[in-house]
Structure 1
Amino acid sequence: MPERTGEFGKFGARGARGSELVARKLDDLAGYIASPVTARRGLMARLHYLTRTDHARSAARAAGLTVTDRTLKAWLEGKRRPTARNLDKIDAAYRTVRRHNVARHLLGRLNRAGRGTRVEIHPLNQSGVDRPQQRVVPFRDMNVRRWDAIVAAWAAGDAQSLDTAWTDHVLPDLGSQWGAYEYCTAIGFAA
């Protein structure tokens, strides 16, 4: 069994943790609002999403948006503008609530009734590594059938659990060379 990478990049290799790339891809699939929170359109879209129902309001409060109803009303009517700190809180609460709302749907699409989803793993970039230290790490693809722990960790925003789920439960299915794919340049899948 291969060891985990202790000093990634020591010889000049470049890439990112596979779990980070999976989280980015899941964020892409979640379909966030494209307009930035600093633009009026983006702010209003996020505020409407977070205040549409009582359930959405309580989820927004649980996610860290703790302002009074009066302040929310003033923001929605355009009478006041949130501070930069509150804009960050609004965006963070929106992403948290959105992740939670789409997690179940996304999990169903990724698991596909036990058939799973095909995942492409592009190996790390070794262009900066001297020739003697380079190793052959080919492009790989695999079918991932167990997405439950990955999506749950992503929805909770728990990077450590996501890394554990990806590295300990998915990568070993690649065989004895799975340690070479702990860091990658890209991971792609569709749902």
Structure 2
Amino acid sequence: MPERNINFGSFGARGIKGHEAVARRLDALAGFIATPITQQRGLLARLHYLTRSDHARQAAREAGLAVTDRTLKAWLEGRRSPSKKNLQAIETAYRTVRRRNVARYLLARLNREGRGTRVEFHPLNQSQVPRPRQRVIEYRTLNVRHWDRIVQAWAADDDAALDDAWVNDVTMDLGSQWGEYEYVTTIGFAA
């Protein structure tokens, strides 16, 4: 069984780690607010999401948004604007709370009552690698039936746990060539 890549890209190959591609795809499925937080509309949308109920406010506080209710009210009414540090805290809290809220829904969609979801592995880009050093890497598909650890690590924003879950629960199922798919151009799946 191959080991993990240590010096990826030393001959010109380009790609991202598989777990990063999965996190991007899960983020896309989560449906984050598209308007940037630097615009008033994006800021208000995030603040409304974080303050719509007592449960949402508590989750925002647990996610690191440590401001008073009075300050939140002033931001919502437009009387004051948050500083750059607070804008970052709002964005981080919003993404954390949104991930927690959609994790259970995504997990049910991806597991599909044990049927799983087909995942497409698009191989890394070798266009800049000299011809004698290029490997033949094929486009592969795999049906992933157990998404629990992957979605849990994604929801917790734990990069190391997501990498471990992705490699051990999914990529190794590709067989002896699993090391070729540690880095990919993209990972595709629909839920």
Is TM more than 0.5 here?
Answer: yes
Unaligned runs of 5+ in 1: none
Q: Which residue of 2 aligns with 1:129?
A: 129
Alignment of 1:188 with 2:176, yes or no, is no
Q: Which residue of 1 aligns with 2:74?
A: 74
Q: Which residue of 2 aligns with 1:163?
A: 163
1:181 CA displacement: 0.1
Aligned pairs for 1:85-100 within 5 A: 85-100=85-100
1:177 CA displacement: 0.5
Amino acid at match of 1:31: G
**Number of residue equivalences:** 191
CA RMSD of aligned residues (A): 0.5
Q: Which residue of 2 aligns with 1:106?
A: 106
Find the aligned partners of 1:128 and 1:52 in 2 and give their Cα distance.
50
Amino acid at match of 1:28: A
TM-score, length basis structure 2: 0.99
Find the aligned partners of 1:4 and 1:41 in 2 and give their Cα distance.
44
Q: Which residue of 2 aligns with 1:55?
A: 55
Q: Which residue of 2 aligns with 1:143?
A: 143
Q: Which residue of 1 aligns with 2:117?
A: 117
Find the aligned partners of 2:48 and 2:82 in 1 and give their Cα distance.
15
Find the aligned partners of 2:135 and 2:35 in 1 and give their Cα distance.
42
* SS at 1:185 equivalent: strand
1:172 CA displacement: 1.0
Identity rate, percent: 70
Amino acid at match of 1:150: I
1:52 CA displacement: 0.6
Find the aligned partners of 1:24 and 1:111 in 2 and give their Cα distance.
18
Find the aligned partners of 1:173 and 1:167 in 2 and give their Cα distance.
9
Unaligned runs of 5+ in 2: none
1:36 CA displacement: 0.6
Consecutive aligned runs of 4 or more in structure 1 exceeding 3 Å deviation? none
